[in-house]
Chain A
Amino acid sequence: DAGVIQSPRHEVTEMGQEVTLRCKPISGHNSLFWYRQTMMRGLELLIYFNNNVPIDDSGMPEDRFSAKMPNASFSTLKIQPSEPRDSAVYFCASSPGGGNTEAFFGQGTRLTVV
């Protein structure tokens, strides 16, 4: 298996533009997590899906952020409109599911909003 695949690896966009980050989890994994990492705030959980259903989105910063998982093999995180403070590394991770399993992280998307 290729592991968790995220695209793009790097994204530079202008303030106000829409940004879409993509994630393909490991096949057969039931849980998918989106995290944001910054120096100031560390590794923050934004949203968590189980069996394609959003279970907890309490970490989503505001309405500008939305996430979807239309099927078991694909998820998106969208920011509209983007702001400079959204600049961070965004990680997607998947796990087989349940509370006793490890999470496998993608390489991350480094987002810069100018």
Chain B
Amino acid sequence: GQQVMQIPQYQHVQEGEDFTTYCNSSTTLSNIQWYKQRPGGHPVFLIQLVKSGEVKKQKRLTFQFGEAKKNSSLHITATQTTDVGTYFCAVHTPNDYKLSFGAGTTVTVRA
């Protein structure tokens, strides 16, 4: 099935600092989705990227899809305590739309 590598696994961030998490695939992706799971919660959809080189912003979150559609990144500026949680990328297999998740990046914030 579709495999995506997500790095880093853990990110400890000082409040107010920026950080980036990356998702990489060995194959070309049709699209990529990002989800956030708060501690004790369930994954919640954030955004989907479809086009090569696409960049989308949601307030302090910037999502980017690589030109070759093999990688994606999520950049958070001025981290806040509300950003705590695990961020997953997820991809569909081309033919049967199975949705598989990366290992996730778990973010903790130091106030």
Residues of A at under 8 Å CB distance from B?
Answer: 31, 33, 35, 42-43, 45, 48, 50, 55-56, 58, 91, 93, 95, 97-100, 102-108
Contacts and interface: CB of A to CB of B under 8 A. Distances in A.
Contacts of A58: 1
Contact of B42 (A42, A56, A98, A105): A105
B33 A97 contact: no
A68 to B, nearest CB: 18
B101 A43 contact: yes
Nearest to A103: B99
A99 B30 contact: yes
B100 interface: yes
B98 A48 contact: yes
B11 to A, nearest CB: 16
7 contacts: A33-B99, A45-B100, A56-B1, A56-B98, A91-B43, A103-B45, A105-B42
Given A56-B96, A100-B50, A42 B45 contact: no
Contacts of B109: none
Interface string B79-111: 000000000101010101111110110000000
A42 B104 contact: yes
Nearest to A55: B96
A82 to B, nearest CB: 22
Interface in B1-33: 1, 30-31, 33
A102 B94 contact: no
A95 to B, nearest CB: 7
A41 B94 CA distance: 24
Contacts of B90: 103
Interface string B40-83: 00111100101000000000000000000000000000000000
A102 B49 CA distance: 11
Contacts of B96: 48, 50, 55-56
